[in-house]
Structure 1
Amino acid sequence: MAMTGEKTLAASCHCRNVQYTVSIPVEILPLEVHMCHCSVCRYTYGAPCCFHADLPPGIEPEFTAPSSLEKMTAYALPRSKTKTYFCSTCGCCIGGCNDTWTISTSIFDANRDDEGIWLYNSHMLPDSAPDGGLAAVFSEIDGLPLQIDDLGGRALPDVSLPKELQSNQSELRAECHCGGVSFTIARPSEEFIASSESKGWLSDVDKSKWLACMDVCDDCRLVTGTNVIAWMFVARDHITPRLPKDLCIGTAKSYRSTEGVNRVFCGDCGATVFYHCDERPNIVDVSMGILRAPEGAMAENWSVWRAGRPSWPENGLRYHAGFSHALIEGMKRWGAERGHPQEFQIP
């Protein structure tokens, strides 16, 4: 007998100014989730990839008052009919609409424990990054192989930077999709390497690179709208232009997610840009999704990865054990192959 009825799924951003539900006919579940690695998604989310599911025609978010579409920020993708939406307060990306909705699945209360809701089935456009990004790290979830979806070779909007703004060996460019937030990162200086301030922030593997790690904590998930974000830890005086106290340059906006923690995102396109905590005032966490490293999304010419574990693995495993296991085990293998350390402590 065919199943009938609907399953109502609830979503919320970190600050809870955006809350909505979607009601899905049971017979069309599970919804297929694709992890998109294209540069458009990386530069608008600030993450290694986004986690999207397409809603069938006629099904769209039902906002819980006082939330509404009008109270969010819309970003119209250049040369496209699609608009993406994000929370104007915390920056959480909820998805986009072009006749039908594509939702960010990472902000829903439904996770792997709700059997039959989501089916993670594909890496989309992994070749958008020369190194393959996370698609090179794992190829299956819960024992099910992930398809590779190249959209049939369909061309995407050109998001390359003018040659004079591109990264080089001494400067790494970071820029969100709309270009409203852009800056460069310098390599660790000899003065920094020799100073006590560098203790714990550089690796003996290569002191010319900055430390990096994956993060699957609940707070990051709900301010980005993705299951995982990657951070590079940079001394703030190595960033140009000089960062003000609130880290807001260009079109950036700040959000105080917890006491002593400031998060920064682009107020025009929504990309996560920085994380900063009062306990380590001279170090800024830079979201690696907006880095313009020629070698790819993992920015290996600039980063030494902690490959053995992400930050807050217990959060990720509780939210979606299948994805988090794939990420953790995949990073261990990838890191061992690429010469990255399995462990280091973030001060």
Structure 2
Amino acid sequence: MTTVLKAACHCGKNTFNIKLTTASLPIVNDLCHCSSCRHSTGQLTVNYIRFDGVPLTPTSADSDQPADLSNLTAYNATGVATRWFCSTCSAHLFFEVIGDKYWCVAVGSLEKAEGIVKNEYHIYVADTIDGGIADQIRTVDGFELPRYIGPLEEGKVVPLGWRNDGVINAKRDLETLAFHCRCKAISFTVTRPSAASALPYSAYPDLLLPAHSTDASKVKNPDDEKWWLRPLGAEKPTKYLAGHCACTHCRLTSGFEIQSWAFIPRANVLVSSESGASPTILNLKDEGQRPKGLVQYKGSPGIREFCGTCGATAFWWSEEKQDLLDVSVGLVDETQNGLRAEGWLEWHKERIGQQEEAVNKALVSAVAEGLKALV
């Protein structure tokens, strides 16, 4: 017996039928933390499941016609596997393994996850240097997930709280934090908070004040609190706020259930010029000054920026707060300060943004519970 599910991106240009053997459900799978997956997507972890055959046209549940992939961009950096993402909105949809000839689908693109997928372990945790989001995803549906330092086959696990302190301590005092996508077409650095960091105005994000249960006048931040600078209220802040989002927009423009953002003023995001001149402040509005290779998707709400070559999410911004950016934390150069970059970022522990919209409720709940358990 076969179960047929739809997989789709945010812009609607890509919808596919995916066939799964019903008896195999739920499919046990991993959460991958390898550097290649993270820097190719901009996410802290990725979640794919293998399906039967190839992506199919969505004309009917009985159709076995291979789908047209012309609205997807293929990226293959290793020769081992090809990542397929939407050329318009950046959603990662498929992971095609070349040698063994099988396909996997990004779980966040599926119309449902309950009863379909069961996350049971983490892999390649060593690549994060500090444990990454694996420290926050401790148990899913009551099952404790082991943290494998590499692939499952090697069998070596690391404990909760593991860190490669030798790497982290060696670069602890650097005054800029580097970010880059997998193909490195997009790279930039972030500087410590400065006087210019307090100039933007922004309403509160759902991460801090849930829109569905907070008076709209309060969400508008009438006191102009600089909530993105941390420690909050400090005379000389040294960090930026970071947190996770589970909204439908993030899920369908990334292909994954958890999008992790750091809130950083544009004045603190620097890009290098091809001429070798001093780095300049990132400009996303002027076509002549935008980083080459960065593709813009004007979906509702806001504007998403991603690498047109490897598909990595880089930024989200809006006309209302164009000088305060959401920066995709999966692009952090983890060799500097660890993937969570705790020397630079203060992670919000009380809530996941738009968590009420989650499709994979078990995974999102696991992150929420893990955050609250952090000391």
TM-score normalized with structure 1 length: 0.83
Which residue of the partner structure matches residue 226 of structure 2?
199
Which residue of the partner structure matches residue 159 of structure 1?
none
Which residue of the partner structure matches residue 256 of structure 1?
298
Give the aligned CA root-mean-square deviation in angstroms: 2.2
The answer to whether 1:287 aligns with 2:328 is: yes
Contact residue 213 and residue 230 of structure 1 kept, 8 A: yes
Q: Deviations over 1:39-88 (max 9, x none)?
A: 111101101100111235xx22113479622331000123x321111000
Which residue of the partner structure matches residue 108 of structure 1?
110
Q: Deviations over 1:271-327 (max 9, x none)?
A: 0000001221210110000011423221111111111111111112xx122112111
Q: Deviations over 1:212-266 (max 9, x none)?
A: 111111110111111101111111011112322338412110001115x110000
Partner SS, residue 316 of structure 2: strand
Percent identical across equivalent pairs? 28
- Aligned residue pairs total 310
Contact residue 18 and residue 51 of structure 2 kept, 8 A: no
Matches of 2:303 and 2:126, distance apart in 1: 33
Matches of 1:54 and 1:107, distance apart in 2: 13
Matches of 1:276 and 1:89, distance apart in 2: 17
- AA aligned to 2:230 is S
Contact residue 305 and residue 316 of structure 2 kept, 8 A: yes
- AA aligned to 1:175 is H
- AA aligned to 2:31 is M
The answer to whether 1:299 aligns with 2:341 is: yes
Which residue of the partner structure matches residue 118 of structure 2?
119
Shift in Å at residue 8 of structure 1?
0.3
Q: Superposition pairs for residues 47-86 of structure 1, below 5 Å?
A: 47-56=43-52, 59-64=53-58, 68-78=68-78, 80-86=79-85
Match of residue 221, structure 1, among 248, 251, 258: 251
The answer to whether 1:36 aligns with 2:76 is: no
Matches of 2:349 and 2:315, distance apart in 1: 21
Which residue of the partner structure matches residue 243 of structure 1?
282
Select between 197-206 and 29-38 the one with higher mean Cα deviation: 197-206
Partner SS, residue 44 of structure 1: helix
- AA aligned to 1:240 is L
Partner SS, residue 147 of structure 2: strand
Measured at CA, do residues 108 and 180 of structure 1 come closer, stay the same or move farther in structure 2, by a change above 3 Å? Answer: same
Shift in Å at residue 195 of structure 1?
5.3
Matches of 2:246 and 2:371, distance apart in 1: 13
Contact residue 246 and residue 254 of structure 1 kept, 8 A: no
Matches of 1:276 and 1:196, distance apart in 2: 13
Which residue of the partner structure matches residue 16 of structure 2?
20
Matches of 2:310 and 2:172, distance apart in 1: 22
Shift in Å at residue 147 of structure 1?
3.6
TM-score normalized with structure 2 length: 0.77
Shift in Å at residue 168 of structure 1?
6.0
Matches of 1:153 and 1:244, distance apart in 2: 45
Which stretches in structure 1 are left out of the alignment for 5+ residues? 155-165, 338-347
Which stretches in structure 2 are left out of the alignment for 5+ residues? 60-65, 156-170, 202-224, 272-280
Which residue of the partner structure matches residue 277 of structure 1?
318
- AA aligned to 1:226 is F
Which residue of the partner structure matches residue 366 of structure 2?
326
